[in-house]
Amino acid sequence: MSIRTSAKAGLSRLTALIEAGGPEIAVVRNELQFADLTGKAVTERFGSPLYLYSERILRRRCQEVANFLSYRPFVANYSCKANTNVALLKIAHSEGLHADAMSPGEIMLLREAGFATNQIFYVGNNVDDAELLYAITAGVTISVDSLAQLERLGRLNPGGKVAVRINPGIGDGHHQKVVTGGADSKFGVYYTQVDEIKRIANQYLLQIVGLNQHIGSNFLNGETYLASVERMLEIALKFDDLDFIDFGGGFGIPYTSEQSRLDITSLGDQVSEMLERWVTQYGKRITAQIEPGRYVVAECGVLLITVHALKETPERIFIGTDGGFNVLVRPTMYDAYHEIVNTRLAQSPPEIEAYITGNICESGDLLAQRRPMPKPKEQDVLAVLDAGAYGFSMSSNYNARLRPAEVLLTLNNELQLIRERDTLEDLLRHQIY
Ligand SMILES: Cc1ncc(COP(=O)(O)O)c(C=O)c1O
């Protein structure tokens, strides 16, 4: 089994953004512009820091995942944990995607965006009765991910339908913290425990209608994913009357120019072939599902931040910005790399190696380390690329900072506010004193 990667390795992420972004994103006289406005003009209008999303790129990625398999029936769920902005959810819905949810909050947001209950797949982890009852009452398909949770669901909803998340014993991902399969992972029922699954299902007359898996996040080589699909298909043969198998998400995107793009067409073709062979063995054509999050929204998002202070020590040059880890935690949490472009000097050659930091009271508040870049000035606006997934959705009010506004760059070349920036009053909401 092999996966081709695209020939475009080496493309800078800025070039990739401009190519995919259409006429709405351009470099004009060395300035990176959105809807014909400089980065500075955009932040003057909506505030800084600011998340900005390209509708064009989002729709394109939705279409790619919607066509992942030629095998039918096929459903592509958008894993909304990556970004739950309702305006973006509506776009994913309009492109025909269904969705997976991790919590009642995500179910509620998806419904608000127009997803029907039969388009929502709830994949909980270590949840209480109240959460399960919320999902049962909402009428969404429920997946449980341990034997204990299967029993709990059986007690709450005997005779009901359920899917079981399987840990196929195989994991992958860009960082140990996002590997979600294998013997070290907290997720799923280990694949060797099929007999226990059946025993509990029989006890509570539960009908096992689906199996699902998710082996980890942001892989760029599909080999491990294919191995996990193969394992899932073997396990599925042990269940008599499944309606669907969900093979999870995790499809990576190239965050650096050195990384090659995952060829999801080639990956999908191989999964389709495996499925076509498998259905003849199983004797029933069941629905295949996937649930990517990052692949759908990462590349459409840019985080705009502003430079407020430059500083040198004998060891380091610091660029101090308002892009703290309360706004984008991925570099601090996963040592993640994001290409960062000074919007005023978009294609200027590097002059310094800088540490780009935020305004949070922790030394680990670093967006980038030893990053080659042109010399910035105070008030320059930097664009942190590929920030659409696990950006705003993982943001916080740490240090009582305000979470940023979000803006959609529409196909009509307009900037549309899709979330207001927090206010100081928001920080008092729910406090009792
Ligand atoms: C169960 C499940 N499905 C889907 C996803 C989406 O992963 P990704 O954004 O890497 O595609 C995750 C991410 O953690 C997950 O836990």
Per-residue pLDDT of 114-168, as tens digits, reads: 999 999 999 999 999 999 999 999 999 999 999 999 999 999 999 999 999 999 9
Q: Which of 185, 291, 295, 297 to mutate to test the pocket of ligand 1 (most atoms within 8 A of CB)?
A: 291
Say if residue 7's pLDDT is above 60: no
* Cβ(371) – ligand 1 distance below 6 Å: no
User: How many other C-beta atoms are found inside a 10 Å radius of the C-beta of residue 90?
Assistant: 15
Q: Residue 5 above 80 pLDDT?
A: no
Grade residue 172 by pLDDT with cuts at 50, 70 and 90.
Answer: confident
Atom of ligand 1 nearest to the CA of 123: 1
Between the CA of 420 and the centroid of ligand 1 the distance, in Å, is: 27
Q: What is the mean pLDDT of residues 230-248?
A: 97
Best residue among 81, 251, 386, 393 to mutate for probing ligand 1's pocket (most ligand atoms within 8 Å of CB) is 81
Comma-separated ranges of CATH 3.20.20.10 domains in the chain: 55-297
Do the Cβ atoms of 100 and 289 come closer than 8 Å? Answer: no
CA–centroid distance for 287 within its chain: 23
**What global pTM score does this model have?**
0.96
How far is C-alpha 230 from the chain's CA centre? Answer: 24
- Ranges of CATH 2.40.37.10 domains, the chain: 13-54+298-428
| Closest to 5 (Cα-Cα) out of 289, 315, 325, 222 | 222
Both structure tokens of 7: 């020939």
Active site residues: 361
Q: What's the 359 CA to ligand 1 centre distance in angstroms?
A: 30
CA-closest residue to ligand 1 atom 15: 214
Contact 209, 242 (CB under 8 A): yes
Q: Which CATH class is domain 55-297?
A: alpha beta
- Please give the average per-residue pLDDT across 33-47, as a whole number: 98
Question: CA 87 to CA 406: how far, in whole Å?
Answer: 10
pLDDT digits (tens, 9 = 90+) for 288-308: 999 999 999 999 999 999 999
Strand boundaries in 113-170, DSSP class E = 120-123, 141-144, 161-167
**Residue 7's CB: how many other CB atoms inside 10 A?**
10
Using the 8-state DSSP alphabet, how is residue 236 labeled? H
CB 330 less than 6 A from any atom of ligand 1: no
The CA 149 to ligand 1 mean position distance, Å, reads: 20
Q: Does the beta carbon of 246 lie inside 6 Å of ligand 1?
A: no
**CATH number of this structure's domain 13-54+298-428:** 2.40.37.10
Q: How far is the CA of 345 from the centre of ligand 1 (A)?
A: 35
What rounded mean pLDDT belongs to the chain? 95
Report whether pLDDT(173) > 80: no
